[in-house]
Amino acid sequence: MRARARPTDRHRRSVVTIVTLTLALAGCGGAGGSTDPGVPGADDASAGPAVTSSAAPRPSGTLSWPSEFGVDLVPGTYFSSPPFDVPFTLTVAETGWQTGHLHSELFDLIRFDGLPETDLPAVLFGFSVPTMVRGAGGNKPAAGMTPDAAIDGLATRADITATNRAGVDLFGRSGARVDLHADVDNTALFGGPAGNFGLGPERNVRIAAVAFGGGLLLVLVMAPPGEVEEAWDRVQPILASIALPGA
């Protein structure tokens, strides 16, 4: 079976909505691209080296990740690279998931669950290997940063409300997590070569961080305020299916 693409005009409206209100990343069709000049700090999002893993061939029996935004993901086991810099397999068993952003440092799955597809998704579930994290003191290189330092840096910012700070175990690695809310659109949290990940008031995000490749691997679950815990529970089967290289 192959993943099914949605109509192009609907792709375009959904992309514009997500980029404007949620992800301040330039261009959703692939990796790279210029950063969004409207986001504070976007110019220096690439401070520090990118954290990448060696290229790996797609395992036999797995599906390639679709190369377009808004493609329905049929149930199956997919390979993350390309677009993502870190190669791993993930199994999507539930229908309703679509492809989201397709950057080498960030890719995600989205679902609308009855919301208009011109609106923000009901759930965004993503992965990132950022080059910087923006803490209370500004942008800090992700290279060499510990998960606790990344999460605590975000949690202590005056422009963000942080709750549910806790330890987390992902992919056999110990890390840290926190739930974040911002009152202002495109409040930059972290970034990479494609731009900054910006949070707004219509959605909260849970960010979990583990050490990987000399830097950080972030897992993101974004949902409406009050629904992040439910969304986090929903993605657990996909998370449980992932084995990182070197784990």
For the ranges 11-25, 33-47, 228-242, which has the lowest average pLDDT? 33-47
The per-residue pLDDT for 55 is: 63
Which has the higher per-residue pLDDT, 29 or 106?
A: 106
The string of pLDDT tens digits covering residues 124-143 is 999 999 999 999 999 999 99
**Strand order, beta sheet including 132-135:** 138-141, 132-135, 187-192, 195-199
The string of pLDDT tens digits covering residues 164-180 is 999 999 999 999 999 99
pLDDT at residue 219 tops 90:
yes
- What's the pTM? 0.82
pLDDT at residue 65 tops 50:
yes
CA 124 → CA 81, 109, 154, 167, distances in Å? 19, 6, 19, 21
Q: Read off the pLDDT of each residue in 101-124 and give the average, rounded to a whole number.
A: 95
Radius of gyration, CA atoms only, the chain: 16
pLDDT at residue 73 tops 90:
yes
Contact 80/62 with Cβ under 8 angstroms?
no
